[in-house]
Amino acid sequence: MKKAFIKSYGCQMNVYDSGRMADVVAEQGYAETGSADDADLVILNTCHIRERAAEKVYSELGRLRELKAERAEAGQETTIVVAGCVAQAEGREIIRRAPAVDVVVGPGSYHRLPDLVREAQAARKGVDAEFDQFEKFATLPRPSASRIRSRGVSAFVTVQEGCDKFCSFCVVPYTRGAELSRPASAILDEARALLEAGVREITVIGQNVNAYHGDGPDGRVWSLARLVRTLAEMPGLARIRYTTSHPRDMADDLIAAHAELPALMPYLHLPVQAGADRVLKAMNRRHTADEYRRLIERIRSSRPDIALSSDFIVGFPGETDGEFEDTLRLAAEIGFAASFSFKYSPRPGTPAADNTDQVPEAVKDERLQRLQAQLEADRQAFNGGTVGRVLYVLIEKPGRHPGQLNGKTPYLQQVQVTGAAAQPGDVVSVRITGTAPNSLFAEVAESAGNAAPLVAAA
């Protein structure tokens, strides 16, 4: 049997796409393997969000070129595919820079992978695909129940792709295209198949997920809240999450859903990027720092225990020391449970990249260090605050040691649970006993009597 190795870089959209690419090539008889060494087909599903992410692809391609040559000497053919956002942004340029690449396919066109691979193998030259956003969803194969099960009890479903926000630092509107929502019925069908195969948690994903406005089966346009409400009624679904949201699209019905739906987990990734209004304006974020603060207040009054996470960029062109302090202050006020923070990276074709006021690398380094130290302290404080509490945990897999199980709290914290006679997919009530740098420890609770009913223990 032929083997395929798929390596995913970047965001959750890519993780989802990699799974779907695995489904596509499985239909062509390729079994997935965990290493490039024995792969007949290697797919790099790439990320273009920051320069470092894009450069990683070229160093990986350097290694793959050698591997391809070694395998060729042994009479084995290797087909190399570059997929994802670098493929979209650079197109044929990739084949020029890395001639070992056989196929370049962007995130809108990977349903055509089998044809493209065949074409490249027959022509013995690199081929690239046009971008036809969204057509793929109509033609992608349905994964079998056993393929779904092999990926675990928590699954992603893409509901929306692309972005119309045009933040001045961001390549997404160019690589993923305009904002487009999948029809609700297609999403519900996909969710049903996942649940029938044993999935218990669905994370609805999109670059700008809360801008979702898909056609509903009733002929009306559905908001994300409407979609989430419908998903929440599906039998077998214990947990729903959604990511990534834009502050401007946190509609009232979505905020209300957090108060009303026990299956909607009390966790929200809501990037703020920066804390100074001048910087936010230059970033074209379309909200001020105070508007963000007020939004968080409204979300917290709907769901008081909600955990928040954010993305931050330091060293945006022109950012002063004082403006950076504003970011530190905003982050401290909100108290994020988790965060991702980055040095600004100029991306070709984006407005901010042309700014002549670039911040020196050493200044960016220092700011990032300070911000990350503070964000890490906030994360540890949040984790520490859950010690002693009784929480529901969705069991995902066996733990590191015998008798331990791995799962997640409603707040997306990873937990090592002892004392549970449970299976992946079960929701168990546990008492948090301690923290490690990247996870919590917990014991099965004697009684869930004083547990806040965070999920229906369906």
Cβ contacts of residue 85 below 8 Å, gap of 6+? 10, 14, 46, 47, 48, 49, 106, 107, 171, 172, 175, 176
Q: Which tokens is 324 given?
A: 């950076």
Structural element, H or E, at residue 222: strand 221-223
Q: Which tokens is 64 given?
A: 């793959």
Cβ contacts of residue 262 below 8 Å, gap of 6+? 453, 454, 455, 456
Q: Which stretch binds ligand SF4 (CB under 6 A): 10-18, 112-120, 164-172, 212-220?
A: 164-172
- The number of beta carbons lying within 10 Å of the beta carbon of residue 372 is 16
Does position 170 bind ligand 5AD by CB under 6 A? yes
The nearer residue to ligand SF4, 11 or 440, going by C-beta atoms, is 11
Does position 261 bind ligand SF4 by CB under 6 A? no
Does position 172 bind ligand SF4 by CB under 6 A? yes
The nearer residue to ligand SF4, 343 or 408, going by C-beta atoms, is 343
Q: How far is the CB of 88 from ligand 5AD (least distance, A)?
A: 15
Does position 182 bind ligand 5AD by CB under 6 A? no
> Cα(265)–Cα(261) distance, rounded to whole angstroms?
8
Pick the binder of ligand 5AD from 342, 382, 392, 411 (CB under 6 A). Answer: 342
What does the DSSP 8-state code read for residue 110?
A: G
**How far are the Cα atoms of 4, 33, 352, 360 from residue 63, in angstroms, in the given order?**
17, 18, 33, 32
Pick the binder of ligand 5AD from 107, 271, 317, 410 (CB under 6 A). Answer: 271
Q: How far is the CB of 246 from ligand SF4 (least distance, A)?
A: 5
The type of residue at 412 is: L
Does position 313 bind ligand 5AD by CB under 6 A? yes
Pick the binder of ligand 5AD from 347, 364, 367, 408 (CB under 6 A). Answer: 347
Which partner in ligand 5AD, ligand SF4, none is near 166 (CB below 5 to 8 A by kind)?
ligand SF4
Q: Which tokens is 318 given?
A: 């022109």
Residue 362 burial class via C-beta count within 10 angstroms: exposed 0-12, middle 13-18, buried 19 and up: exposed
Residue 361 burial class via C-beta count within 10 angstroms: exposed 0-12, middle 13-18, buried 19 and up: exposed
Q: Which stretch binds ligand SF4 (CB under 6 A): 84-92, 162-170, 321-329, 408-416?
A: 162-170
Q: Which stretch binds ligand 5AD (CB under 6 A): 25-33, 320-328, 343-351, 433-441?
A: 343-351
Does position 345 bind ligand 5AD by CB under 6 A? yes
Does position 79 bind ligand 5AD by CB under 6 A? no
The residue of the chain with the least Cβ separation from ligand 5AD equals 311
- Interaction pattern, residues 30-69, with ligand 5AD; x per rule: CB under 6 A: -------------------xx-------------------
The nearer residue to ligand 5AD, 361 or 446, going by C-beta atoms, is 361
Does position 206 bind ligand 5AD by CB under 6 A? no
Task: Evaluate the CA torsion angle 88, 89, 92, 95 in order and state its sign.
Answer: negative
> Cα(396)–Cα(200) distance, rounded to whole angstroms?
10
Site residue total, ligand SF4 (CB under 6 A): 10
Does position 166 bind ligand SF4 by CB under 6 A? yes
Q: Which stretch binds ligand SF4 (CB under 6 A): 51-59, 83-91, 165-173, 436-444?
A: 165-173
The nearer residue to ligand 5AD, 177 or 271, going by C-beta atoms, is 271
Does position 167 bind ligand SF4 by CB under 6 A? yes
Cβ contacts of residue 320 below 8 Å, gap of 6+? none
Does position 50 bind ligand SF4 by CB under 6 A? no
Does position 165 bind ligand SF4 by CB under 6 A? yes
Does position 169 bind ligand 5AD by CB under 6 A? yes
Q: Which tokens is 264 given?
A: 């909607």
Q: Where are the beta strands (DSSP E) in 244-402?
A: 267-269, 307-314, 338-343, 390-398
Pick the binder of ligand SF4 from 239, 246, 347, 431 (CB under 6 A). Answer: 246
Residue 381 in contact with residue 375, Cβ under 8 Å? Answer: no
- Residues facing residue 244 across a β-bridge: none
Q: How far is the CB of 173 from ligand SF4 (least distance, A)?
A: 5
Q: How far is the CB of 335 from ligand SF4 (least distance, A)?
A: 23
> Cα(125)–Cα(122) distance, rounded to whole angstroms?
8
For residue 331, give the nearest of 298, 349, 303, 308 by alpha carbon: 308
- Interface residues with ligand SF4 (CB under 6 A) are 163, 165-167, 170, 172-173, 207-208, 246
- Interface residues with ligand 5AD (CB under 6 A) are 49-50, 169-170, 271, 273, 311, 313, 342, 344-345, 347
